[in-house]
């Protein structure tokens, strides 16, 4: 526990590089530590969204009910 009071912000962990990042209005890239880390994270997010495409997982195997002759 730190008793240091920092009104300007606090140090958080950068989601990209896991380094120290200043979470304050002084840091426009928060919660990232730098513009580079922010861009890296955004790039990862963008590429991830690109992978979301129509998957052929519509396998209609509804063979639960047997079709016996009536
Ligand atoms: Zn970083």
* Domain residue ranges in the chain: 4-49
Give distance in angstroms: CA of 65 to centre of ligand 1.
56
Task: Reply yes or no on whether the pLDDT at 62 is more than 70.
Answer: no
The backbone torsions φ and ψ at residue 15, rounded to the nearest 5 degrees and listed phi first, read -65, -20
Please tell me the number of Cα atoms within 13 Å of 9 on its side-chain side: 15
| Rounded average pLDDT over 2-29 | 84
**Separation CA 42–CA 65 (nearest Å):** 48
**Residue 14 labelled as part of a binding site:** yes
Q: What b/e readout covers 38-64, taking b as 16+ CB neighbours within 10 angstroms?
A: beebeeeeeeeeeeeeeeeeeeeeeee
Task: Using DSSP, state whether 48 is helix, strand or coil.
Answer: helix
Give distance in angstroms: CA of 33 to centre of ligand 1.
4
**Residue 37 labelled as part of a binding site:** yes
Q: What dotted CATH number matches 4-49?
A: 3.30.50.10
pTM value is: 0.51
Give the pLDDT of residue 50: 62
């Amino acid at each position: 526990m730190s008793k240091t009071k920092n009104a300007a912000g606090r140090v958080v962990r950068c989601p990209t590089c896991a380094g120290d990042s200043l979470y304050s209005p002084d840091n426009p890239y928060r919660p990232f530590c730098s513009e580079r880390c922010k861009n890296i994270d955004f790039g990862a997010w963008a590429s991830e969204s690109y992978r979301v495409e129509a998957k052929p997982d519509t396998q209609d195997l509804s063979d639960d009910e047997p079709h016996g002759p009536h």
